[in-house]
Structure 1
């Protein structure tokens, strides 16, 4: 059985007027397999479908191959994350 590709999630921007209630800052990165518990649950809830699509061979329209950009659902924060599939 082939190994699943690694997934890295990086906070790349913030659009809202308030800081993150979990303390995430631009530049923070998380390994999905080993650090997913450190990522805000609201952001993780949004990220998971994109992760599943990328990890199992799909692609996201209008995104570079192996990547997805998404926002957390907190309207006061609006953290912007990038997911990258890292082939191993």
Structure 2
């Protein structure tokens, strides 16, 4: 297997007016390889299966298979993250 693709995680929406206990805000973006430690552990736990699918050659359900929207499990805030595979240039 070759080099694993880059994964970008972006906070694109939220479904409540509450405050994220980890301090995430709309537009926050994380590189999985270098910044995963900055992401809330609850969100990371929810996103990790989709990240693994993309990093090891799988496709996510949806339009292009290379990205998807997933929720943080904190019911008081419900942050929506976009997980996307970034193709090597």
When normalised by structure 1's length, the TM-score is: 0.93
What SS does the corresponding residue of 2:61 show, helix, strand or coil? coil
Q: Does 1:46 align with 2:49?
A: no
Mapped to 2, the partners of 1:35 and 1:63 lie a distance apart of 27
Give the deviation of 1:56 after TM superposition: 1.1
- Which residue is 1:27 aligned to? 27
Report how many residues are paired: 88
Query: Equivalences for 1:1-88 in 2 at 5 Å?
Result: 2-88=2-88
- How far 1:62 moved relative to its partner? 2.3
- Mapped to 2, the partners of 1:24 and 1:2 lie a distance apart of 33
Runs of 5+ unmatched residues, structure 2: none
Divergent runs of 4+, >2 A: 62-65
> What CA deviation, in whole Å up to 9, does each residue of 1:29-86 have, x standing for no partner?
0000100000000000000000000111111222432102100000000000001101
RMSD: 1.1
TM-score, normalised with respect to structure 2 = 0.92
